[in-house]
C-alpha cells in the first residue's frame, strides 16, 4: 500500500466521522482528484474480501465503517446506546428532514404537541440546526438537518431519504 493511501486510511479511521474530499486533500496536501483516486483504491481494497471494514460515501464525505456481515459480533460487544432517539425525537427529525426549512409552529401543527424540548435535544445532539428566519410576523426560526444527521443515518444527501407514503403527505 502506498504511503498516501495508508495516510488516508489512518485519517478515516481516526476521524470517526465523514470527512470530505476537500478536508482530506488539505490534510494530505494533494488535490481533490488525487484524493478521489486514493479513495477508489482503498474502497476496492476493502471490497476485495477478507476485510472487516468498508469505505462508505456519506454526508458529503467518506468514512470507514464495520462491514455489515460483522454487525452481530459488534452488537455483542457494544451495549445498546443509552442515547437512542425517542419516538418524539424521530418524528420531529423526520418532519424537519422532509420539510426543511421548517418552523417550530409547523412542526407542532403536524405533530399536534409542543416540541420545544425535543428541538433543544436535537440541537444539542447536532442533528438539526437553525438555518435562518422566516419572512413572517415574529420572524420565526427555520430549522434544517445537519451533516451530522446525514452521517448518523448513513445518507450521502437528502435525496436518499425514503419516499413519503401517500398517507404521510
87-168 CATH, one of 3.40.30.10, 3.50.50.60, 1.10.10.10, 3.10.310.30: 1.10.10.10
Pairwise pLDDT comparison (143 vs 79), residue with the higher score: 143
Q: Quick one: pLDDT at residue 82?
A: 47
**What CA–CA distance (Å, rounded) separates 143 from 133?**
9
Report, as an integer, the average pLDDT of 80-87. Answer: 69
Q: Quick one: pLDDT at residue 48?
A: 85
Peptide bond into 101 cis (omega under 30): yes
What does CATH list as the number for 3-76? 1.10.10.10
Alpha helices in 16-146 (DSSP H): 21-28, 32-47, 71-77, 87-99, 104-111, 116-125
- CATH topology agreement for domains 3-76 and 87-168: yes
Buried b (16+ CB within 10 A) or exposed e, 74-112: eeeeeeeeeeebeeebebbbebbbbeebbbbebbbebee
Q: Quick one: pLDDT at residue 12?
A: 92
The model's pLDDT over 103-161, given as tens digits with 9 standing for 90+, comes to: 999 999 999 999 999 999 999 999 999 999 999 999 999 999 999 999 888 888 999 99
Domain spans, the chain: 3-76, 87-168
Q: Quick one: pLDDT at residue 83?
A: 59
The model's pLDDT over 13-40, given as tens digits with 9 standing for 90+, comes to: 998 888 999 999 999 999 999 999 999 9
The model's confidence at residue 80, banded by pLDDT at 50, 70 and 90, is low
The model's pLDDT over 44-70, given as tens digits with 9 standing for 90+, comes to: 998 887 888 999 888 889 999 888 888
What does pTM read for this prediction? 0.60
Q: Quick one: pLDDT at residue 73?
A: 83
Q: Quick one: pLDDT at residue 66?
A: 87
For the ranges 71-85, 94-108, 123-137, the lowest mean pLDDT is seen at 71-85
Amino acid at each position: 500500500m502506498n504511503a498516501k493511501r495508508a495516510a488516508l486510511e489512518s485519517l478515516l479511521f481516526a476521524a470517526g466521522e465523514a470527512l470530505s474530499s476537500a478536508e482530506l486533500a488539505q490534510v494530505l496536501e494533494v488535490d481533490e482528484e488525487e484524493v478521489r483516486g486514493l479513495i477508489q483504491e482503498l474502497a476496492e481494497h476493502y471490497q476485495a474480501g477478507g476485510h472487516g471494514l468498508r469505505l462508505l460515501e456519506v454526508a458529503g464525505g467518506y468514512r470507514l465503517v464495520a462491514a455489515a456481515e460483522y454487525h452481530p459480533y459488534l452488537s455483542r460487544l457494544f451495549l445498546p446506546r443509552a442515547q437512542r432517539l425517542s419516538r418524539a425525537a424521530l418524528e420531529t427529525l423526520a418532519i424537519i428532514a422532509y420539510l426543511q426549512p421548517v418552523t417550530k409552529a409547523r412542526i407542532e401543527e403536524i405533530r399536534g404537541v409542543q416540541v420545544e424540548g425535543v428541538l433543544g435535544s436535537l440541537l444539542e445532539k447536532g442533528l438539526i440546526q437553525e438555518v435562518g428566519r422566516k419572512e413572517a410576523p415574529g420572524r420565526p426560526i427555520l430549522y434544517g438537518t445537519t451533516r451530522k444527521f446525514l452521517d448518523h443515518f448513513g445518507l450521502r444527501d437528502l435525496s436518499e431519504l425514503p419516499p413519503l407514503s401517500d398517507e404521510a403527505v
